[in-house]
Chains A and B, each alone.
Chain A
Amino acid sequence: MSTITRHESDARLSRAVVHNGVVYLAGLTADKRSAGMKEQTTEILHKIDTLLKTSGSDKSKLLSAMIYITDMRLKPAMDEAWLAWADAKNLPARACVETRLGTPDTLVEVMVVAAQ
């Protein structure tokens, strides 16, 4: 049976869980919630870089990304940050839907799965 490694765990969740060469990240949101959609997305994508590094992976090994945004009209701003960050040769399967998030000023949340 392969082991499960957890990173940055608190009472409720782990920010990253690794099993069988696959890294599962928690839903990540921006700390700077006064920022707009593009900036919030960029902050989250940088958090993903850091967590993937901690987990022995990087964005070129992304498998899937689930993006939740609070207003579909802001999707172009999210996409702008995404395109500036993503590895164009190694893009994950991605979906983006509109939903309500943890706090009213949280505009975007991203949840990814990556290979190690």
Chain B
Amino acid sequence: MSQRITRWECDAKLSDMVEHAGILYLAGQIPEDTAADTRGQTAEVLATIDRLLAKAGSDKSKLLSVVIFITDMRDKPQVDAAWLAWADPQAVPARAVLEARLLNAETRVEMVCVCAR
């Protein structure tokens, strides 16, 4: 049985967020201010996630899983610091962090989230 699919903030290549059967799938989110350090970039990405989830009437307390890509595993403490300052301690998602190269050398962090609506 087919259920409705809703898409938000589509450009030529992708939708920033897609909802199906009560589940929100977010595109890989990267910071705009790539002059910021990894902690600052992470905080910006997390704020972007808040903004997107709010559009669908959801929020970070309903996150199911988050995959975090960072360009240098030595930056993980900075990511964790921003994450801990942001995450809902009563409702943390399944999370993974791994090292990958991203869009450009200045982009230090990218996150892919799945969230309940």
Contact = CB atoms under 8 A, between A and B. Distances in A.
A33 interface: no
Contact of A86 (B13, B27, B69, B110): B13
B110 A97 contact: yes
B3 interface: yes
A79 interface: yes
Give the one of B13, B21, B26, B110 with max A CB within 10 A.
B13
B8 to A, nearest CB: 9
Contact of B2 (A21, A93, A95): A21
Which bucket holds chain A's interface residue count?
20 to 34
A99 B69 CA distance: 10
A91 to B, nearest CB: 5
A98 interface: yes
Contact of A95 (B12, B101, B104, B110): B110
Nearest to A56: B2
Nearest to B17: A93
A97 B101 contact: yes
Interface string A95-116: 1111100000000000001011
A64 interface: yes
12 contacts: A63-B18, A64-B112, A64-B114, A91-B15, A92-B14, A92-B15, A93-B16, A94-B15, A96-B103, A97-B100, A99-B100, A115-B2
B3 A94 contact: no
Contacts of A72: 101-104
